[in-house]
Amino acid sequence: MGVMACSRQNCENIMCVRLFRGSRYICEDCWTELQSVKATWPKELPPNEIAQRVEEFLDTEVGTYVAPVNVDEEIDRLMRM
């Protein structure tokens, strides 16, 4: 059995089971992060755009995604600091 290293930049996870387009593996940690990213996408997209967005995600470095926040709530939080 070979090592299926995650295809995401700087991800050190191996033995990944999810395979994207037959050539790029994604680990559970990156899969979870992709689910957070996906939640910000429109609910309907053309299939080629979905594939492109997943490719773009895989080309990012681990930990670079920051979930969007409510602007008003963040400003209020920053003002309390």
Binning pLDDT at 50, 70 and 90, where does residue 56 land? very high
CA atoms within 13 A on the CB side of 74: 5
In a domain? residue 61: yes
What integer pLDDT is reported at residue 81 of this predicted model? 67
Rounded CA separation 37/65 (Å): 7
Residue 1 belongs to a domain = no
Indicate the SS3 state at residue 76.
Answer: helix
Judge whether 12 lies within some domain.
no
Residue 66 has pLDDT above 80, yes or no: no
Structural contact between residues 13 and 5, judged by C-beta atoms closer than 8 angstroms: yes
Q: What is the mean pLDDT of residues 1-6?
A: 78
Report the distance separating Cα 6 and Cα 9, nearest Å.
8
Q: Within a domain: residue 3?
A: no
Q: What per-residue confidence (pLDDT) applies to 68? A: 76
- What is the percentage of the chain residues whose pLDDT exceeds 90? 60
Looking at the structure of the chain, the number of domains it has is 1
Q: Which pTM was predicted? A: 0.76
Domain that holds residue 75: 18-80
